[in-house]
Amino acid sequence: MFTGLLDCSILKRAQDKNLVEIVVHNLRDYTTNKHRRVDDYPFGGEAGMVMQIEPIDNAISALKEQRVYDEVIYTSPDGEVFDQRIANQMSSYNNIIILCGHYKGIDYRVREHLITREISIGDYVLTGGELAAAVMADAIVRLLPGAIGDEQSALSDSFQDNLLAPPVYTRPAEYKGWRVPDILLSGHQAKVDEWRLQQAMERTERLRPDLLEKKD
Protein backbone atom coordinates (compact mmCIF):
# COMPACT_ATOMS: atom_id res chain seq x y z
CA MET A 1 0.00 0.00 0.00
CA PHE A 2 2.72 2.48 0.99
CA THR A 3 4.80 1.72 -2.09
CA GLY A 4 2.05 3.01 -4.34
CA LEU A 5 1.17 5.99 -2.15
CA LEU A 6 4.57 7.31 -1.16
CA ASP A 7 6.50 6.63 -4.35
CA CYS A 8 4.71 8.87 -6.77
CA SER A 9 4.18 12.50 -7.62
CA ILE A 10 5.21 15.19 -5.12
CA LEU A 11 6.08 12.72 -2.37
CA LYS A 12 8.47 10.90 -4.69
CA ARG A 13 10.03 14.11 -5.96
CA ALA A 14 10.54 15.42 -2.43
CA GLN A 15 12.30 12.19 -1.47
CA ASP A 16 14.41 12.20 -4.65
CA LYS A 17 15.48 15.78 -3.81
CA ASN A 18 16.35 14.68 -0.24
CA LEU A 19 13.85 17.13 1.24
CA VAL A 20 12.43 14.29 3.28
CA GLU A 21 13.17 10.66 4.08
CA ILE A 22 10.18 8.39 4.57
CA VAL A 23 10.90 4.91 5.94
CA VAL A 24 8.20 2.27 6.28
CA HIS A 25 8.81 -0.28 9.03
CA ASN A 26 7.16 -3.66 9.42
CA LEU A 27 6.42 -4.50 13.05
CA ARG A 28 7.03 -8.18 12.30
CA ASP A 29 10.72 -7.30 11.95
CA TYR A 30 10.69 -6.36 15.64
CA THR A 31 9.22 -9.59 17.00
CA THR A 32 11.21 -12.10 19.02
CA ASN A 33 8.98 -15.16 18.50
CA LYS A 34 9.64 -17.58 15.66
CA HIS A 35 6.26 -17.04 13.97
CA ARG A 36 6.82 -13.27 13.92
CA ARG A 37 3.45 -12.77 15.60
CA VAL A 38 2.42 -9.24 16.44
CA ASP A 39 -1.00 -9.87 18.00
CA ASP A 40 -2.57 -11.98 20.74
CA TYR A 41 -5.92 -12.70 22.40
CA PRO A 42 -7.32 -9.89 24.54
CA PHE A 43 -7.46 -10.10 28.34
CA GLY A 44 -11.06 -10.12 29.52
CA GLY A 45 -12.31 -12.26 26.66
CA GLU A 46 -13.38 -9.70 24.07
CA ALA A 47 -13.76 -10.85 20.47
CA GLY A 48 -10.83 -10.34 18.08
CA MET A 49 -7.12 -9.92 18.55
CA VAL A 50 -4.99 -7.10 19.94
CA MET A 51 -1.62 -5.83 18.70
CA GLN A 52 1.04 -6.61 21.31
CA ILE A 53 3.10 -3.99 23.09
CA GLU A 54 6.50 -5.67 22.69
CA PRO A 55 7.09 -5.40 18.92
CA ILE A 56 5.84 -1.80 18.99
CA ASP A 57 8.10 -0.89 21.93
CA ASN A 58 11.04 -2.65 20.23
CA ALA A 59 10.42 -0.76 16.99
CA ILE A 60 10.07 2.65 18.64
CA SER A 61 13.12 2.05 20.88
CA ALA A 62 15.25 0.99 17.90
CA LEU A 63 14.25 4.15 16.01
CA LYS A 64 14.89 6.37 19.03
CA GLU A 65 18.44 5.05 19.23
CA GLN A 66 19.09 6.55 15.82
CA ARG A 67 17.25 9.87 16.03
CA VAL A 68 15.45 12.27 18.32
CA TYR A 69 11.74 12.41 17.52
CA ASP A 70 9.54 15.48 17.89
CA GLU A 71 6.46 13.35 18.21
CA VAL A 72 5.34 9.69 18.26
CA ILE A 73 1.94 9.78 16.62
CA TYR A 74 -0.76 7.12 16.67
CA THR A 75 -3.45 7.19 13.98
CA SER A 76 -6.88 6.61 15.45
CA PRO A 77 -10.44 7.82 14.99
CA ASP A 78 -10.27 8.89 18.68
CA GLY A 79 -7.54 11.43 17.97
CA GLU A 80 -7.33 15.17 17.40
CA VAL A 81 -8.68 15.85 13.89
CA PHE A 82 -5.84 16.56 11.45
CA ASP A 83 -6.04 19.94 9.73
CA GLN A 84 -3.85 22.48 7.94
CA ARG A 85 -2.67 24.00 11.22
CA ILE A 86 -1.33 20.60 12.38
CA ALA A 87 0.22 19.95 8.95
CA ASN A 88 2.00 23.33 9.14
CA GLN A 89 3.26 22.59 12.63
CA MET A 90 4.52 19.12 11.68
CA SER A 91 6.23 20.42 8.54
CA SER A 92 8.64 22.23 10.87
CA TYR A 93 9.54 19.06 12.78
CA ASN A 94 12.79 17.20 12.18
CA ASN A 95 11.58 13.65 12.78
CA ILE A 96 8.27 11.99 13.50
CA ILE A 97 7.15 8.43 13.99
CA ILE A 98 3.65 7.53 12.84
CA LEU A 99 2.37 4.29 14.31
CA CYS A 100 -0.48 3.04 12.17
CA GLY A 101 -3.47 1.93 14.18
CA HIS A 102 -5.20 -1.29 13.34
CA TYR A 103 -8.83 -2.34 13.34
CA LYS A 104 -7.97 -4.99 15.86
CA GLY A 105 -6.83 -2.39 18.35
CA ILE A 106 -3.46 -2.15 20.09
CA ASP A 107 -2.54 -2.83 23.71
CA TYR A 108 -3.63 0.36 25.46
CA ARG A 109 -0.30 0.66 27.31
CA VAL A 110 1.27 1.68 23.98
CA ARG A 111 -1.03 4.68 23.92
CA GLU A 112 -0.48 5.45 27.59
CA HIS A 113 3.31 5.22 27.61
CA LEU A 114 4.79 5.46 24.11
CA ILE A 115 2.52 7.74 22.09
CA THR A 116 2.75 11.53 22.39
CA ARG A 117 -0.17 12.48 20.13
CA GLU A 118 -3.18 10.73 18.60
CA ILE A 119 -4.41 11.95 15.23
CA SER A 120 -7.60 11.20 13.30
CA ILE A 121 -8.04 12.22 9.67
CA GLY A 122 -11.81 12.55 10.02
CA ASP A 123 -14.94 11.24 11.67
CA TYR A 124 -15.15 7.88 9.93
CA VAL A 125 -13.51 4.54 10.61
CA LEU A 126 -10.82 3.14 8.33
CA THR A 127 -9.65 -0.48 8.49
CA GLY A 128 -6.16 0.64 9.42
CA GLY A 129 -4.04 3.73 9.94
CA GLU A 130 -1.99 3.34 6.76
CA LEU A 131 -4.15 5.63 4.66
CA ALA A 132 -4.26 8.15 7.51
CA ALA A 133 -0.44 8.09 7.73
CA ALA A 134 -0.16 8.58 3.96
CA VAL A 135 -2.64 11.49 4.06
CA MET A 136 -0.60 13.15 6.81
CA ALA A 137 2.68 12.52 4.98
CA ASP A 138 1.30 14.10 1.81
CA ALA A 139 -0.09 17.17 3.58
CA ILE A 140 3.15 17.69 5.54
CA VAL A 141 5.70 16.99 2.80
CA ARG A 142 4.15 19.31 0.23
CA LEU A 143 4.77 22.18 2.68
CA LEU A 144 8.54 21.59 2.78
CA PRO A 145 10.39 24.36 0.93
CA GLY A 146 11.16 23.14 -2.60
CA ALA A 147 8.60 20.31 -2.59
CA ILE A 148 6.22 21.98 -4.98
CA GLY A 149 7.31 23.92 -8.01
CA ASP A 150 5.90 27.33 -7.28
CA GLU A 151 7.11 28.44 -3.84
CA GLN A 152 4.03 30.61 -3.46
CA SER A 153 1.49 27.96 -4.17
CA ALA A 154 1.55 26.09 -0.86
CA LEU A 155 1.02 29.43 0.85
CA SER A 156 -1.89 30.45 -1.36
CA ASP A 157 -3.67 27.12 -0.81
CA SER A 158 -7.19 26.72 0.18
CA PHE A 159 -7.23 26.44 4.00
CA GLN A 160 -3.91 28.18 4.53
CA ASP A 161 -5.85 31.27 5.68
CA ASN A 162 -8.92 29.29 6.66
CA LEU A 163 -10.48 30.37 3.37
CA LEU A 164 -11.53 28.21 0.44
CA ALA A 165 -9.68 28.87 -2.81
CA PRO A 166 -11.25 31.16 -5.43
CA PRO A 167 -12.21 29.60 -8.79
CA VAL A 168 -9.54 29.26 -11.48
CA TYR A 169 -9.97 29.11 -15.26
CA THR A 170 -7.83 28.58 -18.34
CA ARG A 171 -8.22 28.87 -22.12
CA PRO A 172 -10.54 28.97 -23.97
CA ALA A 173 -12.24 32.07 -22.54
CA GLU A 174 -15.53 30.75 -23.88
CA TYR A 175 -16.56 27.10 -24.24
CA LYS A 176 -20.05 26.03 -25.35
CA GLY A 177 -21.17 29.53 -24.40
CA TRP A 178 -19.78 29.14 -20.83
CA ARG A 179 -17.69 32.22 -20.21
CA VAL A 180 -14.78 32.96 -17.91
CA PRO A 181 -15.59 35.97 -15.65
CA ASP A 182 -14.75 39.19 -17.54
CA ILE A 183 -12.69 40.56 -14.66
CA LEU A 184 -10.04 37.83 -15.18
CA LEU A 185 -9.58 38.95 -18.79
CA SER A 186 -9.45 42.66 -17.88
CA GLY A 187 -5.75 42.92 -17.13
CA HIS A 188 -6.40 44.95 -13.93
CA GLN A 189 -4.32 42.98 -11.42
CA ALA A 190 -5.55 44.88 -8.35
CA LYS A 191 -9.16 44.30 -9.36
CA VAL A 192 -8.43 40.64 -10.08
CA ASP A 193 -6.89 40.23 -6.61
CA GLU A 194 -9.90 41.91 -5.02
CA TRP A 195 -12.26 39.64 -6.98
CA ARG A 196 -10.31 36.55 -5.88
CA LEU A 197 -10.53 37.52 -2.23
CA GLN A 198 -14.24 38.28 -2.57
CA GLN A 199 -14.84 34.91 -4.22
CA ALA A 200 -12.82 33.14 -1.52
CA MET A 201 -14.87 34.83 1.20
CA GLU A 202 -18.18 34.17 -0.53
CA ARG A 203 -17.39 30.49 -1.16
CA THR A 204 -16.20 30.04 2.43
CA GLU A 205 -19.34 31.66 3.88
CA ARG A 206 -21.54 29.50 1.67
CA LEU A 207 -19.72 26.15 1.83
CA ARG A 208 -17.66 26.14 5.05
CA PRO A 209 -18.87 28.87 7.43
CA ASP A 210 -17.15 26.98 10.28
CA LEU A 211 -13.76 28.02 8.82
CA LEU A 212 -14.53 31.71 9.25
CA GLU A 213 -14.74 31.16 13.00
CA LYS A 214 -11.16 29.83 12.97
CA LYS A 215 -9.95 32.81 10.93
CA ASP A 216 -7.94 35.56 12.68
Question: Residues annotated as binding site for S-adenosyl-L-methionine?
Answer: 101, 121-126
**If binding means CB under 6 A, how many residues of this protein chain bind ligand ADE?**
12
As measured in angstroms, the least distance from the Cβ of 41 to ligand ADE is 22
- Cβ nearer to ligand ADE, comparing 98 with 163: 98
- Cβ nearer to ligand ADE, comparing 42 with 77: 77
Question: Which of 11, 14, 101, 159 is in the footprint of ligand ADE by CB under 6 A?
Answer: 101
- What gap in Å lies between CA 182 and CA 60, rounded to an integer? 57
**By CB under 6 A, is residue 55 in contact with ligand ADE?**
no
Per the annotation, binding residues are 101, 121-126
**By CB under 6 A, is residue 120 in contact with ligand ADE?**
yes
Question: Which of 6, 30, 50, 76 is in the footprint of ligand ADE by CB under 6 A?
Answer: 76
Cα 66–chain centre separation: 24
One character per residue 121-150, x = contact with ligand ADE (rule: CB under 6 A): xx-xxx--x--x------------------
- What gap in Å lies between CA 28 and CA 3, rounded to an integer? 18
Of 23-31, 62-70, 72-80, 160-168, which part binds ligand ADE (CB under 6 A)? 72-80
- What gap in Å lies between CA 55 and CA 198, rounded to an integer? 53
- What gap in Å lies between CA 72 and CA 98, rounded to an integer? 6
* Degrees to nearest 5, angle at CA 79 with 23 and 65: 35
As measured in angstroms, the least distance from the Cβ of 64 to ligand ADE is 23
Cα→Cα distances 209→40, 83, 122, 163, 200, Å: 46, 16, 18, 9, 12
**By CB under 6 A, is residue 77 in contact with ligand ADE?**
yes
Nearest to 200 by CA among 168, 155, 152: 168
Q: At what angle do helices 84-91 and 130-141 cross, to 10 degrees?
A: 70
Residues in contact with ligand ADE by CB under 6 A are 75-77, 101, 120-122, 124-126, 129, 132
